[in-house]
Structure 1
């Protein structure tokens, strides 16, 4: 049985995210993604200026006067949320853990999707596939997705993005909008990323915490690798250590962004230090401008 506090948190997230969707994100989300193509809408009488290629010759012959087929954009999309639930998601030093930020962000995306009558699915992964919820429509389904994001207890501690992307390609054969939510503390996944980016509209959502790049001066510290285990004793009072640490972390994030650009994958950078709504709005508006060209 799901604990009462989890259900209460689901309700709080629902209220918060729906308010944001209704007031800020709805129109931006709708404009940011193309549908799968054009679908038939109606047949109507021909008027001057209509493209003769759209004449419905069967109806024209039956009625005895020209009729044309009208089409509209097929808006229905499949949105897949791929969420990294590895141990590094429990890191957080400012306002919340990275995992909490990921859950709230996914809730925002899910409610944006159902407001536009899109299907929503979920993949929770570590170094294995922990949970797969096939895409469906409706508010109850989205609440189920959010509940699992909050309540599900993964078995794995490490991250394997490549394996998760291979699983995605196996279960989602039709093109989907895929939000890959992770801090990307993982091994190589270039090849899997390239294949998935060709099949889907893949968006990387990078969640980081400010202290991951700025180490505090607190003297001797025993550091534990959240994903791979093991500890090491370091002197955080050493300016040389702190500078080297920051340099390596910034270089890692730069390399990650370069990889995404090279593979044609858009990236949304979210920090536990700030609200995640603004980066999403900026991304949707950027997409909207690109599609309107």
Structure 2
């Protein structure tokens, strides 16, 4: 495949910026703030204990010094750190219509990045396949976001596979302060990642954005189809004209999807499913609203 010129990449960056920045300004900035505010709390001061205060907020050192109970006061941290944990494995190059999963991932990352800087937050990115491919440490500013968008467009991973646990272990080790982490993937991973999800969600505020294509859930009736696994290179013929084959494919996809969603619920990770050929605006806003209600 011919490599794009710098001017072509910059045009793409500009197009994505115009589309996603507008969405972020008009729709997401308020929803984003209310969905994540109060998740990071910083110690502010102490005051004397008053009836109704929670026992767990008592500062025992100050209480002992002054011989009467004092409680710690916490304030919402004004500045949060947002980390995009982005799957760049080969399966993201799939798309049955005009838009690839990879294109949707780029747009989502841009929208979340612009929402973050609207809120004066830092944003960083971890690209992963079956290993961590690249880490862009969290920073603020428009030029930083444009660099992230450009990397998303032109980045070529060294590996084709997927290992979500590797990426989450790196997140926990690299980001010491509690952060909001968006794990953006199709979650097609043969390695177990339940413990990775659980540990990352304990250390950080983890949100899963599952990227799916309609053809991964059901087959069209178009006769013999060559089906290729982009991560392993294995392929086989499928007879899509057979109703039995189509039903078996659909049932297997539904089973896999249900088990994944159960895994998110078990590990306490908020999630939403998004499709390249459908609008992501309403599903994302609903996710943010749901989080605001439980904040």
Number of residues of Structure 1 aligned to a counterpart in Structure 2 = 266
Which of 230, 253, 259 does residue 249 from structure 1 map onto? Answer: 253
The aligned residue for residue 151 of structure 1 is 154
The aligned residue for residue 77 of structure 2 is 74
Please state how far the C-alpha of 1:116 moved relative to its aligned partner: 0.5
TM-score by structure 2 length? Answer: 0.86
Describe how 1:88-237 pairs up with structure 2 within 5 A.
88-187=91-190, 188-237=192-241
Q: Residue 120 of structure 2 aligns to a residue in which SS?
A: coil
Please state how far the C-alpha of 1:273 moved relative to its aligned partner: 2.2
Deviates more, 1:92-101 or 1:260-269: 92-101
Describe how 1:251-290 pairs up with structure 2 within 5 A.
251-290=255-294
Greater Rg by CA? 1
The aligned residue for residue 50 of structure 2 is none
| Alpha-carbon distance in structure 2 between the residues aligned to 1:39 and 1:20 | 34
Cα deviation 1:106-143 (Å, max 9, x = unaligned): 10000000111101000111111111000111111111
The aligned residue for residue 47 of structure 1 is none
CA contact (8 A) 2:106 2:152 kept: yes
TM-score by structure 1 length? Answer: 0.86
| Alpha-carbon distance in structure 2 between the residues aligned to 1:173 and 1:73 | 18
The aligned residue for residue 6 of structure 2 is 3
Deviates more, 1:97-106 or 1:13-22: 13-22
| Alpha-carbon distance in structure 1 between the residues aligned to 2:178 and 2:133 | 22
The aligned residue for residue 59 of structure 1 is none
| Alpha-carbon distance in structure 2 between the residues aligned to 1:271 and 1:152 | 22
| Alpha-carbon distance in structure 1 between the residues aligned to 2:171 and 2:5 | 28
| Alpha-carbon distance in structure 2 between the residues aligned to 1:8 and 1:239 | 45
Cα deviation 1:247-276 (Å, max 9, x = unaligned): 000111111000000000000210112111
Could you tell me which runs of 5 or more consecutive residues in structure 2 were left unpaired when the two chains were aligned. 46-52, 58-71
Alpha carbon RMSD of aligned pairs, Å? 2.0
| Alpha-carbon distance in structure 1 between the residues aligned to 2:28 and 2:195 | 33
Runs of 4+ in 1 over 6 A off after TM superposition: none
Could you tell me which runs of 5 or more consecutive residues in structure 1 were left unpaired when the two chains were aligned. 42-50, 54-68
| Alpha-carbon distance in structure 2 between the residues aligned to 1:228 and 1:246 | 22
Deviates more, 1:229-238 or 1:120-129: 229-238
Q: Residue 76 of structure 1 aligns to a residue in which SS?
A: coil
CA contact (8 A) 1:35 1:75 kept: no
Please state how far the C-alpha of 1:197 moved relative to its aligned partner: 1.1
